[in-house]
Structure 1
Amino acid sequence: MASTADNFTGRIILTASLTAKEGQGDRTETHLKAIQEYALSDKEPGCFTYRVCRSDNEFFVFEEYENQAAIKAHLDGDVFKAFSAEVAKGTLTVGVTAQEGQAEKSESLLKAIQAYSTSDKEPGCLTYRVCRSGNEFLVFEEYADSAAIQAHFETEGFQNLVKEVGKGTLVVGGPRITYYQEI
């Protein structure tokens, strides 16, 4: 198992699951279908498959990309950003498992992000908490809106973490990201 998509030599498969807020299933489906149409058009030539499945308010998305650059192009697309603006305000959790002997380094990188995110340098980050149990880490994050999440992804600390994870020696598997909407 590769720890990041950067280590893959073939196509990259992503899966996402989400639960629409009660009464918002049809609206969520409309957004996901618009993303699907855009992803499968000539505007995203690196996206080979984008399938959306629905059961009531539960959605599952299966995505297949040529490489990491194709994934970035997808996430940077206007249609995906519009959807993110709808759902991004709220809370997300990220779980990672450090490789044996890498927990201290993982903790150091996450604590550096926490210090920056909770300072006045990142006003859109409302909460950033790092929890640890052995080699397991859970990060609880809350942002004011989707622009704040995007700004967080562009910070030096986050980019340093991405760079370290990309080396393939820091964590086991990829991050487990779950988005929540406050009720």
Structure 2
Amino acid sequence: MILVTGSILACEDAFDDVLRSCLEHVERSRKEPGCISHDVHVDCQNPMRLFFFEQWADEAALRAHFAVEGTKAFIKSLKGRIVETSGTKIYRAEAIRR
């Protein structure tokens, strides 16, 4: 299993639209082959930051996810509506268990 984390900091005036886009992205992603879970959470210390936590069956499923047109469109839609991104971090669950 592959674990993915990341966060974005939304512009205050665009937060509602960014959150809506994130929720749509999560719902679409959950239907993709190999998606075990895909969630977005509002940071309780900084309510403009949205945190993603994803679980994928394997690397092939994750690569396919990033290649889906919907994912590309989601990423492109954030331009100009977010202040920063933490960058995506990818972990192999097997390595974490050790």
Per residue, is there more helix in 1 or in 2? Answer: 2
**Residue 161 of structure 1: which of 24, 49, 74 is its match?**
74
Aligned residue number for residue 105 of structure 1: 17
Which residue of structure 1 aligns with residue 4 of structure 2?
Answer: 92
- Which residue is equivalent to 1:114? 26
Bigger Rg over Cα: 1
Report the secondary structure of 2:88's partner residue.
Answer: strand
Cα distance in structure 1, aligned partners of 2:71 and 2:18: 12
Question: Following TM superposition, by how much is the alpha carbon of 1:180 offset from its aligned partner in structure 2, in angstroms?
Answer: 2.2
Q: TM-score, normalised by structure 1?
A: 0.46
Tell me the residue number matched to 1:127: 37
Task: Give 4+ residue runs of structure 1 displaced > 4 Å after superposition.
Answer: none
- The alpha carbon displacement at 1:123 in A equals 1.8
1:172 to 58, 83, 87: 83
Aligned residues: 91
1:93·1:139 contact (CA, 8 Å) conserved in 2?
yes
**Local SS of the residue matching 1:102:** helix
* SS in structure 2 at match of 1:101: helix
Corresponding residue for residue 71 of structure 1 = none
Counterpart Cα distance in 1 of 2:51 and 2:81: 15
Matches of 2:36 and 2:3, distance apart in 1: 9
Distance (whole Å) between structure 2 residues aligned to residue 159 and residue 93 of structure 1: 17
The Cα shift of 1:175 comes to 3.8
| Contact kept in structure 1, 2:4 and 2:89, CA below 8 Å | yes
Q: Which residue of 2 aligns with 1:142?
A: 55
Question: How far 1:160 moved relative to its partner?
Answer: 1.7
Which structure exhibits the higher relative contact order, with contacts defined as CA atoms closer than 8 Å and separated by 6 or more residues?
A: 2
Task: Give the 3 Å change call, closer, same or farther, for CA 108–159 of structure 1 in structure 2.
Answer: same
How far 1:157 sits from its partner (Å)?
2.7
Cα-to-partner distance string for 1:120-143 (whole Å, 9 max, x where unaligned): xx1211110110131110010011
Unaligned regions of 5+ residues in structure 2, if any? Answer: none
SS at match of 1:159: helix
Q: CA deviation at 1:91?
A: 0.3
Code of the aligned partner of 1:108? R
In structure 1, distance between residues paired with 2:39 and 2:19: 12
